[in-house]
Amino acid sequence: MSAAETIRLDRKHLWHPFTANSAWMDESFQPVSIVAGEGSWLIDAAGRRYLDGNSSIWTNLHGHRHPRLDEAVRSQLGKIAHSSFLGLTHEPAARLAQELLAFAQPGPASALNRVFFSDDGSTAMEAGLKMIVQSFAQTGQPQRIRFVSPAGAYHGDTVGAMSLGPSDHFHRRYQPLLFSSRRVMAPFCYRCRFNRAQPEKADARSYRQCNFECATQAEEAIAETGKDLAAWVLEPRVQGAAGMVMHPEGYAQRTCAAARQAGARILLDEVLTAFGRTGPAMSFHAEGIAPDVIALAKGLSGGYLPLAATLVSEEIFRAFDGPAENTFFHGHSYTANALGCAVARASLALLQDPAEQKRRADLAQNLRELSQDFWKHPQVGDVRQEGTILAVEIVAARATRRPFPATERRGARICQTAREFGLLTRPIGDVLILMPPYSTTANELQQMVEALRKALAKELPA
Ligand SMILES: Cc1ncc(COP(=O)(O)O)c(C=O)c1O
């Protein structure tokens, strides 16, 4: 089928996520129709090659059509693709659970000991929040139903996940459906009203001047919620959809300590940050904290198949012992999909290969060096990075951090123009993002950065 026919059928029958009808149906807009992938490249129906600058919306870790991942799927397919997980079990799920727990929490003192599989980040979070509420209800603390999280947190689009991190922009229309949760100021140094420092050409976290008001406010909110608090919910180190908000050192540690003090659970959303994205195997490893529940998705299957997992402490699991009415009445048809589990095992093995770890560390270092070039553009206000996540925030005025009016959609226009230079990525507002697959070579990374720099220069001539 030709690309034109694909697009015609698409416009007639499809409905895309997070996509304005007016923009998609506009005939002057030409969607890219992807037919193949190869390492860090995506290839369209006309044979044009694009670098996958955001790892296919933050999912892909090792590149497309990785031989070891392809082989894991093929080998599992020769046995069975999927069977129900209700009352049945299978080896790929059992082995993956064991390997995932060892990866997520190495060492003997592991509190996390159970894995509940689902399909996406939202469902992993939804399961986690329901487990926490029900476990408290079944152990004599039914009043613990409140959640506190940083403003701008995004945990997905199911009703529970929306309630944990409602975004005015995304979730306003569903407000009447949501349960109430409390939000505290986000630890966002570049846009923090307490940061007295004048803007510098550096990551705002490195030159902030404040009294760590964000951590204090979170501690106070957690203490005030007290015996009603079910969990402190955190995307450790990087709040993704909030605009790649990167947290200052010590924030997670202080806030999680406050949650412990209040007798509440620590629920980490590592849907974006896990599997080496921010540097360590799991983002929370760098923070010295011990979560009770972790939500995983996106990179879990290396970006191959929709697979998610909620990692849970044995203590929470044991709260579901006893009569049948204590059961966790929750599940999905594709829970523990065998193909997904098989490819996730292959991905975990690659992540632990020392040569792959070195390649990832080199990629992060190269990205750090190349990204310094963005400072030459006068409309760049902040360049921040954690591991292989780079965020470049553009502003109308660097000296005052004044943003462009949202209606001008500068970030979207720059990323649209980047396609001309062979790069596919998606901004969050005026935050431009590069998050390359770990397979990206030094040369490919240079091309990615160069494509984004050229698009920035074309859309915003200095
Ligand atoms: C931190 C975080 N949590 C949850 C989600 C929701 O995941 P999904 O889109 O797979 O439902 C996302 C998606 O971007 C995310 O970034």
Q: Which atom of ligand 1 is nearest to the CA of 270?
A: 1
Q: What is the DSSP letter of 145?
A: -
Q: Which atom of ligand 1 is nearest to the CA of 156?
A: 6
Work out the average pLDDT over 381-393: 98
Q: Which atom of ligand 1 is nearest to the CA of 57?
A: 14
Check residue 110 and give its pLDDT.
Answer: 67
Please determine, for residue 168, whether its predicted confidence score (pLDDT) is greater than 90.
no
Which is nearest to 121 in space by CA: 296, 317, 304? Answer: 296
For the stretch 185-221, pLDDT in tens is 999 999 999 999 999 999 999 999 999 999 999 999 9
Instruction: Record the tokens describing residue 133, joined without a space.
Output: 């509420």
For ligand 1, pick from 155, 301, 426 the residue to mutate: most ligand atoms within 8 Å of CB: 155
| Mean pLDDT lowest among 80-84, 286-290, 385-389, 411-415 | 286-290
Which is nearest to 303 in space by CA: 10, 122, 40, 18? Answer: 40
Q: Which atom of ligand 1 is nearest to the CA of 161?
A: 4
How many beta carbons lie within 10 A of that of residue 47, not counting itself?
8
Q: Which amino acid is at 254?
A: R
For ligand 1, pick from 117, 119, 122 the residue to mutate: most ligand atoms within 8 Å of CB: 122
| 271 alpha carbon – ligand 1 mean position (Å) | 6
Q: Which amino acid is at 115?
A: V
Work out the average pLDDT over 5-16: 95
The distance of Cα 217 from the centroid of its chain, to the nearest Å, equals 24
The dihedral built from the CA positions of residue 310, 313, 314 and 315, taken in this order, carries a sign that is negative
Domains and CATH numbers, the chain: 32-65+354-459 (3.90.1150.10), 73-351 (3.40.640.10)
| 161 alpha carbon – ligand 1 mean position (Å) | 9
| 79 alpha carbon – ligand 1 mean position (Å) | 31
For ligand 1, pick from 271, 272, 277, 332 the residue to mutate: most ligand atoms within 8 Å of CB: 271
Protein residue closest via CA to atom 7 of ligand 1: 121
Instruction: List the beta strands (DSSP E) in 404-456.
Output: 423-424, 431-434
| 121 alpha carbon – ligand 1 mean position (Å) | 4
Assign 134 to helix, strand or coil. helix
| 240 alpha carbon – ligand 1 mean position (Å) | 9
Protein residue closest via CA to atom 3 of ligand 1: 155
Kindly report the average pLDDT of the chain as a whole number. Answer: 96
For ligand 1, pick from 239, 246, 272, 300 the residue to mutate: most ligand atoms within 8 Å of CB: 272
Please determine, for residue 108, whether its predicted confidence score (pLDDT) is greater than 60.
no
| 150 alpha carbon – ligand 1 mean position (Å) | 16
Dist. CA 261–CA 279, nearest whole Å: 29
Q: What is the CB < 6 Å shell around ligand 1?
A: 120-122, 125, 154-156, 235, 240-241, 269, 271-272, 297
The dihedral built from the CA positions of residue 420, 421, 425 and 429, taken in this order, carries a sign that is negative
Distances (CA, A) of 355 to 58, 184, 349, 352: 22, 41, 12, 9
CB-based contacts of 53, cutoff 8 Å, min separation 6:
418, 423, 424, 425, 433, 434, 435, 436, 448, 451, 452
Dist. CA 413–CA 153, nearest whole Å: 25
For the stretch 394-434, pLDDT in tens is 999 999 999 999 999 999 999 999 999 999 999 999 999 99
Q: What is the CA radius of gyration of the chain?
A: 22
Percent of the chain topping pLDDT 90: 94
